[in-house]
């Protein structure tokens, strides 16, 4: 049922995590907020469903305790290729495997409690000066926020499609009914791509295949990851396979006039980082602050700053994708000296700076060259 006011302070297009996070942050700054989405809750999406400790901390800064939504904790990350594996625990705290539908239901509930007006099943078809066209009606808004995902129309309407870079891979997700066998989120590597496995409950694991081949599906790819295939053998799939594009995209700009983009609409890092949700929680906070000050240039600068570390991590990890010899050497070297892997994980979740990582990275580089 679509409930649209005649006017609002902030109109947010898209009611998935980015839109709801932006709405909650804006309400906390006293704005009247409307969120509209053409789908109805709970909305599902192909996602690895792993939230890193920094993502949980970013959500907490918005007043969201994602553990209340359910899910299953994981202590760290494990890389595996063939029979070689290396894992490390996060320097602090744990991550959380959380089904997207559970995340969505929780965020909808929190947004409602914060006083956000939500219009589900409402399609936005255009922007006018200081207004949004929703279900054929005009809604006036002081600020308009595009949280309408990777294929954002708001981005196009606002003339923000210009990109510094844009590349894509393809992700397919399915849940399996099996008890988690590890305290880690696992990233399995093969020449064809990566399979990552996140425990999401005491009886369910989420599997995501990411590759450069849009036709490669989980069933066909599983034998390429023998250890994962062994773990999932006999486990019943829970639900259908669902696909999504994993884009690495940096826009020239994320704001124009009184329109701002947030979440995947505003650019994204490859799914391999598991940082998409963390990024959008941080962006939501920065955007609300900028709207309160009446100047979006703060958000423009913050958005760029927030994206730097995940972009660096994505570049490092994608360096190993498609470079078989380098990848095998790197994983073997880290497996021989697991304490080389820990700093990489610490940088991934923002616990150490890229500079401090670089000094460890040199040691790793030397090790790779000499193994």
Ligand X SMILES: Cc1cc2nc3c(=O)[nH]c(=O)nc-3n(C[C@H](O)[C@H](O)[C@H](O)COP(=O)(O)OP(=O)(O)OC[C@H]3O[C@@H](n4cnc5c(N)ncnc54)[C@H](O)[C@@H]3O)c2cc1C
Nearest CA among 303, 213, 315, 314 for reference residue 271: 314
Nearest approach, Cβ of residue 201 and ligand X (Å): 15
Tell me if residue 217 falls in helix, strand or coil: coil
Nearest approach, Cβ of residue 99 and ligand X (Å): 11
Nearest approach, Cβ of residue 329 and ligand X (Å): 27
Q: Provide the greatest CA pair distance for the chain.
A: 67
Nearest CA among 227, 209, 228, 225 for reference residue 217: 209
Nearest approach, Cβ of residue 274 and ligand X (Å): 4
Nearest approach, Cβ of residue 134 and ligand X (Å): 8
Alpha helices in the chain (DSSP H): 17-28, 53-61, 100-114, 153-157, 218-221, 226-232, 276-293, 297-320, 324-336, 341-348, 354-370
Binding residues vs ligand X (CB under 6 A) = 13-19, 36-39, 43, 45-51, 55, 123-124, 147-149, 153, 171, 208, 210, 244, 246, 263-265, 268, 271, 274-278, 280
Are the C-beta atoms of 42 and 58 separated by less than 8 Å? Answer: no
Residue closer to ligand X (CB basis): 31 or 157? 157
Nearest approach, Cβ of residue 173 and ligand X (Å): 6
Nearest CA among 352, 368, 255, 266 for reference residue 319: 368
Count of C-beta atoms within a 10 Å radius of residue 220: 12
Residue closer to ligand X (CB basis): 124 or 260? 124
* Tokens (6 digits) for 236: 């019943």
Residue closer to ligand X (CB basis): 97 or 335? 97
Residue closer to ligand X (CB basis): 33 or 43? 43
Residue closer to ligand X (CB basis): 200 or 333? 200
Q: What does the alpha-carbon distance between residue 80 and residue 310 come to, in Å, rounded to a whole number?
A: 21
Residue closer to ligand X (CB basis): 17 or 87? 17
């Amino acid at each position: 049922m679509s409930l649209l006011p005649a006017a609002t302070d902030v109109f947010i297009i898209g009611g998935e995590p980015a839109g709801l996070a932006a709405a909650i942050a804006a309400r906390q700054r006293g704005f009247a907020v409307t969120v509209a989405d053409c789908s109805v809750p709970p909305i599902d999406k192909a996602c690895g469903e792993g939230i890193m400790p920094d993502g949980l901390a970013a959500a907490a800064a918005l007043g969201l305790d994602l553990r209340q939504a359910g899910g299953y904790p994981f202590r760290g990350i494990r890389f595996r290729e063939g029979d070689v594996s290396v894992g490390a625990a996060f320097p602090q705290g744990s991550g959380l495997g959380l089904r997207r539908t559970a995340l969505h239901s929780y965020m909808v509930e929190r947004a409602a409690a914060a006083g956000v007006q939500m219009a589900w099943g409402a399609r936005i078809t255009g922007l006018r000066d200081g207004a949004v066209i929703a279900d054929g009606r005009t809604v006036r808004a002081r600020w308009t926020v595009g949280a309408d995902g990777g294929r954002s129309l708001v981005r196009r309407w606002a003339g923000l499609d210009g990109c510094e870079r844009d590349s894509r891979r393809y992700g397919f997700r399915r849940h399996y009914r099996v008890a988690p066998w590890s305290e880690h989120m696992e990233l399995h590597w093969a020449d064809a791509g990566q399979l990552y496995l996140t425990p999401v409950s005491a009886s369910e694991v989420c599997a995501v295949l990411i590759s450069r081949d849009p036709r490669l599906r989980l069933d066909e790819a599983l034998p390429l990851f023998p250890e994962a295939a062994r773990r999932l053998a006999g486990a019943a799939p829970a639900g259908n396979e669902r696909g999504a594009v994993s884009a690495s995209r940096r826009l020239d700009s994320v704001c124009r006039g009184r329109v701002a983009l947030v979440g995947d609409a505003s650019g994204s890092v490859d799914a391999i980082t598991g940082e998409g949700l963390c990024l959008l929680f941080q962006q939501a906070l920065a955007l609300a602050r900028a709207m309160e000050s009446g100047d979006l240039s703060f958000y423009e600068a913050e958005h760029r700053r927030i994206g730097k570390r995940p972009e660096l991590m994505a570049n490092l990890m994608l360096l190993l994708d498609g470079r078989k010899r380098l990848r095998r050497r790197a994983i073997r070297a880290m497996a021989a000296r697991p304490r080389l892997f820990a700093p990489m994980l610490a940088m991934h979740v923002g616990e150490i700076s890229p500079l401090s990582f670089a000094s460890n990275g040199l040691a790793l580089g030397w090790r790779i060259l000499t193994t």
